């Protein structure tokens, strides 16, 4: 018999939004006068502390610039932050609409995402395309990141369900494994079509993903 989750929890990056456009990565690398392939690993090197609010935009970009053997002024930091936020602000129409329809059908919905404060401020203030959710847990607010178990527990408490009642989508294997260790049903997300295939016969929800 198929499992009927009472809540669906979505990661944000690469699930509710699409992958970073290459043009935005190019723009950030250009500000630092770096080749894209050299810039990218340094961009990710301090991302978790940034997502946890242990670094703010100034300290994050100064650290990235230092590792690139560069310096950045306040105007460059503003431009880097703007490109960064923009790069994570491209909605995935299929998943956004599915999240909206699930909630209308009575399924509780939540977002559980590692995210820096500047992006969270944009999403909760200016991103009119983002649907309503019953709960949102952002790492920058709670100062902890996936795959730490406490951030999953914070989200479950916020959305008001037990682990066994939730189905979680995330694009990172380590986050999926952490969710499953807590008893959360979890699917590693690649594309909406692959999500449909992964749920087929295993999970039953009142609204299908319309690929």
CA dihedral 77, 130, 155, 134 (to 10 degrees): 150
How far apart, in Å, are the Cα atoms of 189 and each of 66, 74, 90, 125? 34, 37, 17, 26
**pTM for the whole thing?**
0.96
Percent of the chain scored above 90 by pLDDT? 97
Please check the confidence at residue 1 and state whether its pLDDT lies above 90.
no
Please check the confidence at residue 206 and state whether its pLDDT lies above 90.
yes
- Name the band, by pLDDT with cuts 50, 70 and 90, for residue 69: very high
CA distance 69 to 188: 36
- What pLDDT does 174 receive? 98
* Helix, strand, coil tally for the chain in percent (to 5): 55, 15, 35
- Name the band, by pLDDT with cuts 50, 70 and 90, for residue 35: very high
Q: Which pLDDT tens digit goes with each residue over 76-125?
A: 999 999 999 999 999 999 999 999 999 999 999 999 999 999 999 999 99
Please check the confidence at residue 70 and state whether its pLDDT lies above 90.
yes
Mean pLDDT of the chain: 97
CA distance 70 to 34: 9
């Amino acid at each position: 018999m198929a499992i009927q989750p009472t809540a669906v929890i979505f990661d944000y990056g690469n699930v509710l939004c699409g992958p970073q456009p290459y043009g935005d990565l190019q723009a950030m690398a250009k500000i630092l006068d770096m080749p894209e392939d050299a810039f990218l690993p340094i961009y990710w090197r301090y991302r978790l502390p940034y997502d946890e609010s242990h670094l703010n935009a100034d300290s994050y970009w100064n650290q990235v610039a230092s590792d690139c053997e560069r310096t950045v002024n306040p105007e460059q930091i503003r431009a880097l932050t703007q490109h960064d936020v923009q790069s994570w602000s491209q909605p995935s129409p299929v998943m956004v609409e599915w999240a909206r329809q699930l909630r209308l059908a009575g399924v509780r919905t939540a977002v559980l995402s590692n995210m820096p404060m500047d992006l969270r401020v944009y999403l909760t203030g200016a991103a009119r395309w983002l649907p309503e959710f019953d709960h949102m847990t952002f790492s920058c607010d709670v100062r902890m990141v996936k795959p730490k178990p406490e951030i999953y527990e914070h989200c479950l408490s916020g959305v008001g369900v037990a682990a066994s009642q939730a189905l979680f989508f995330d694009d990172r294997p380590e986050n999926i494994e952490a969710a499953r260790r807590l008893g959360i049903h979890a699917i590693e997300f690649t594309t909406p079509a692959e999500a449909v295939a992964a749920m087929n016969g295993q999970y039953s929800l009142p609204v299908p993903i319309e690929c």
